[in-house]
Amino acid sequence: MSKLLVTGGAGYIGSHTVRALQDANHEVVVLDNFSAGHLEALPDGVAIVQADLLDEEAVRAALRDHQPDAVVHFAALIEVGESMSDPRRFYRNNLLGSLNLANALLDTRTAENTPVPVVFSSTAAVYGEAEVIPIPEDAPKRPTSVYGETKLSFEHVLSAYDRAYGLPHINLRYFNVSGAHASGEIGEAHPNKTHLIELALLTALGQREKMKIFGTDYPTPDGTCVRDYIHVDDLASAHVLAVQALLDGSPSTAYNVGLGHGFSVKEVLDAADRVVGTPIPREIAPRRPGDPAFLVAESSRIKAELGWAPQYTDLDQIVESAWRWHRRYPHGFEKATR
Ligand SMILES: NC(=O)c1ccc[n+]([C@@H]2O[C@H](COP(=O)([O-])OP(=O)(O)OC[C@H]3O[C@@H](n4cnc5c(N)ncnc54)[C@H](O)[C@@H]3O)[C@@H](O)[C@H]2O)c1
Ligand SMILES: O=c1ccn([C@@H]2O[C@H](COP(=O)(O)OP(=O)(O)O[C@H]3O[C@H](CO)[C@@H](O)[C@H](O)[C@H]3O)[C@@H](O)[C@H]2O)c(=O)[nH]1
Verdict on whether the full-model pTM lies above 0.80: yes
97-125 pLDDT, tens per residue?
A: 999 999 999 999 876 778 999 999 999 99
Asked if residue 165 and residue 110 are part of one domain, the reply reads yes
Residue 209 domain boundaries: 196-227+260-328
Q: What are the tens digits of pLDDT across the range 186-241?
A: 999 999 999 999 999 999 999 999 999 999 999 999 999 999 999 999 999 999 99
Number of domains observed in the structure of the chain: 2
Q: Decide if pLDDT at 146 tops 50.
A: yes
Q: Which residues lie across from 176 on neighbouring strands? A: 229
Residues 201 and 285 in one domain: yes
Kindly give the distance from the C-alpha atom of residue 78 to the centroid of ligand 1, in angstroms, as a whole number. Answer: 6
Residue 258 reports pLDDT greater than 50? yes
Report CA(212)–ligand 2 centroid distance (Å).
12
pLDDT score at 334 = 80
**Mean pLDDT across the stretch 120-145?**
95
CATH of the domain at 265: 3.90.25.10
State which ligand 2 atom lies nearest to the alpha carbon of 174. Answer: 22
pLDDT at 337: 44
In a domain, 202, yes or no: yes
Residues 244 and 267 in one domain: no
Indicate if 73 and 208 belong to the same structural domain. Answer: no
Cα-to-centroid distance, 80 and ligand 2 (Å)? 8
Tell me the C-alpha distance between 154 and 172, whole Å.
Answer: 12
In a domain, 94, yes or no: yes
Residue 165 annotated as catalytic: no
> Sorting pLDDT into bands at 50, 70 and 90, what band is 138?
very high
Round the average pLDDT of the chain to a whole number and report it.
Answer: 96
Q: Give residue-wise pLDDT tens across range 268-315.
A: 999 999 999 999 999 999 999 888 999 999 999 999 999 999 999 999
Ligand 1 atom with the smallest distance to the CA of 13 is 16
Give pLDDT, residue 335.
59
Return the bridge partners of 6, or none.
Answer: 30, 72
Catalytic hit among 147, 161, 218, 255: 147
Shared domain check, 207 and 78: no
Residue 43 φ/ψ region, left for φ over 0, alpha for ψ in the -120 to 50 degree band, beta for the rest? beta
Q: Does residue 213 have its Cβ closer than 6 Å to ligand 2?
A: yes
Return all residues near 251 (Cβ < 8 A) that are at least 6 apart: 168
Domain of 159: which CATH number? 3.40.50.720
Q: Does ligand 2 lie within 6 Å of residue 291's CB atom? A: yes
Say whether both 272 and 247 belong to one domain.
Answer: no
Region 242-271 average pLDDT: 98
Question: What are the tens digits of pLDDT across the range 35-69?
Answer: 999 999 999 999 999 999 999 999 999 999 999 99
Residues 171, 211: one domain? no
| Averaged pLDDT for residues 251-271 | 98
